[in-house]
Amino acid sequence: MSNYLKPARLGIGIISAGKVGAVLGAALRSAGHAIVGVYAKSEASQERAQSLLDGVPLMEITEIVEKSEVILLAVPDDSLPPLVSWIAEHAQLQSGQILIHTSGRYGVGVLEPARNRGAIGLAIHPAMTFTGLSLDLARLQNTSFGVTGPAPFLPIAQALSVEMGGEPVIIAEGDRPLYHAALAHASNHLVTITGQSMQILASLGIEDPARYLEPLVRASLDNALASGESALTGPVVRGDSRTVESHTEVLTGFAMEENAKDILDSYRALARATAQRAHAKGALNDEQYSRIVEALDS
């Protein structure tokens, strides 16, 4: 915290109390800021607000804008542009009021309608997946936060990120979409392939597929983060084309029986990508690579 100026205590309004907004609101309140109100439309959001932001009043968007020094927009990416335009048109924005959104995809350009009304726009995106439960608060500790904004106001985003327990990393405006794609690819697709593997194991009668996979998946992730692709093991990088062909064959049958073509498609696509990267790094020679590709296409 010593590297960043600690901002004055701020009155912060939260729009909305989704998994991200409620958790970040709780983290900001723990840092000493006042949460003046929260917009929570659905029953689930209202329950989440009550759990994580107990005592904070529910407000309409216009009231939050009127009463807050900082407005945290924690809505899905596709909802952000129309929300900003609506606020700029219908709410009483004040010059110098701070609007912060949590989208990884956007920088501050999406806040232009509000900035044209005198507001200050910032983007703060924690590189973390959220459950909307209190355990997320501990996960924020040492999490990287991608921050973007005009240079004079960037220290505000950096300081707030640190107060929430994170480590701010400046992301250029034009780099936000690619930055977000990298995070989504690593996090979301990891969940997908883990779920697919659990489905296969469950079909074999394994009662607790998650427990069965946990040591392997955790070790694989730890090794990958520590050593990159040099930690890669398995039949593709070994050039075991007959094993890959066997996998393709049995997954084809499984896909037909279980209506799970997505698993076959994922295996083929990821094995092909693995082979391409292994070949480019010299782990597979030309002949081995060709045999792997043929096995995947069989």
CATH of residue 290's domain is 1.10.1040
Domain termination site, one of 171, 204, 238: 171
Q: In the chain, pLDDT over 70 holds for what percent of residues?
A: 98
**pLDDT over 90 at 5, yes or no:** no
Is residue 183 situated within a structural domain? yes
The enclosing domain of 32 has a CATH number of 3.40.50.720
For residues 95 and 201, state if they share a domain.
no
Cβ atoms 49, 59 nearer than 8 A: no
Q: Each residue of 233-269: pLDDT tens digit?
A: 999 999 999 999 999 999 999 999 999 999 999 999 9
Q: Supply the pTM of this predicted model.
A: 0.90
Is residue 1 situated within a structural domain? no
Average pLDDT over residues 184-209: 97
For residues 61 and 167, state if they share a domain.
yes
Task: Write down the pLDDT at residue 2.
Answer: 47
For residues 48 and 183, state if they share a domain.
no
**CB neighbour list of residue 136: distance below 8 Å, 6 or more residues apart:** 19, 23, 128, 130
For residues 20 and 155, state if they share a domain.
yes
Q: For 230, phi and psi rounded to 5 degrees? A: -70, -15
Task: Write down the pLDDT at residue 4.
Answer: 64
Q: How far apart are CA 68 and CA 93, in angstroms?
A: 10
What range defines the domain where residue 105 resides?
A: 11-171
Across the chain, mean pLDDT equals 96
For residues 123 and 240, state if they share a domain.
no
Domain termination site, one of 150, 171, 192: 171
**pLDDT over 60 at 23, yes or no:** yes
Domain termination site, one of 171, 187, 214: 171
